[in-house]
Amino acid sequence: MRRTSPLALSTFVLAGVLAVTLSACAGGSATPTASPTSAPTPTQTAEPEPTPTEPAAPTVAPANLPTDCTTLGTDMSRQDTVGDMTLQSDGTGFEREAPQNAQLALGCDWILDEVAGVLLLISTADAAAVSAAADALPAEGWTCGVADDFGAAYCYIEPADMAGVQQTVVARDDVWVYLETYQRDGNAFLSDIASQIWS
């Protein structure tokens, strides 16, 4: 067996390495590989933050303010309450419980000699002032609740120093209704008036 000299083996190995290197460098057959830094970096567009929307405020039906004392309530309740009385004034000048800066929209003052009387004052004011005035009544001795038939604050008092007198307030939104009766039940009349206003 013939032995190859160390120099000849080294030359053979070197020649093989060169051949592989040259074939890798030759153009046309090799597929170029992309550099990791050559690919474009995608840009991210920030999504706009959704704008919070306020819940829609509940719609409030406008009040139907009466303008004539002779058409208040129903024919029956009006006749039963003030049918035998004389309408003697428009309520101007009466100072009764009312919200701050209240404006009188309709006043009706009925009287039957010295036997009976009914005073009705319908006023308007800022809704917050109406609510605040109604909230303050219990501290003054009034009994208050919410009327089921017309959804308003309902307060009443029978002053100890005024025998036969009942004072009643119905308040809702920007309307304040004050009814004072002397020796007369005005509850049905007031209920019909409130329904007339907030129907």
- pLDDT tens for each residue of 68-88: 999 999 999 999 999 999 999
Q: How far is CA 118 from the centre of its chain?
A: 36
CATH number of the domain enclosing 106: 3.40.1000
Closest to 120 measured CA to CA, from 183, 66, 160: 66
Residue 49 has pLDDT above 80, yes or no: no
* Contact predicate 67/120, CB 8 Å: no
In what order do the strands lie in the sheet containing 175-182?
Answer: 86-89, 103-112, 116-124, 175-182, 165-172, 153-157, 143-146
* Contact predicate 81/189, CB 8 Å: yes
100: containing domain: 69-197
Closest to 90 measured CA to CA, from 116, 63, 61, 122: 122
Query: Domains in the chain: how many in total?
Result: 1
Residue 23 domain-assigned (yes or no): no
Find which of 24-38, 40-54, 145-159 is predicted with most confidence, using mean pLDDT.
145-159
Distance between CA 180 and CA 121 in Å, rounded? 9
Residue 88 domain-assigned (yes or no): yes
Residue 54 domain-assigned (yes or no): no
**Residue 80: is it exposed, middle or buried by C-beta count within 10 angstroms (0-12/13-18/19+)?**
middle
Residue 84 domain-assigned (yes or no): yes
Distance between CA 160 and CA 30 in Å, rounded? 112
Distance between CA 130 and CA 169 in Å, rounded? 11
Residue 191 has pLDDT above 60, yes or no: yes
* Contact predicate 123/100, CB 8 Å: no
Q: DSSP secondary-structure letter at 22?
A: H
* Contact predicate 155/168, CB 8 Å: yes
Residue 36 domain-assigned (yes or no): no
Residue 31 domain-assigned (yes or no): no
pLDDT in tens, 137-187: 999 999 999 988 778 999 999 999 999 999 999 999 999 999 999 999 999
Distance between CA 84 and CA 156 in Å, rounded? 24
| pLDDT given at position 169 | 98
Residue 61 domain-assigned (yes or no): no
Q: What is the mean pLDDT of residues 88-103?
A: 94
Residue 125 domain-assigned (yes or no): yes
pLDDT in tens, 58-70: 344 567 999 999 9
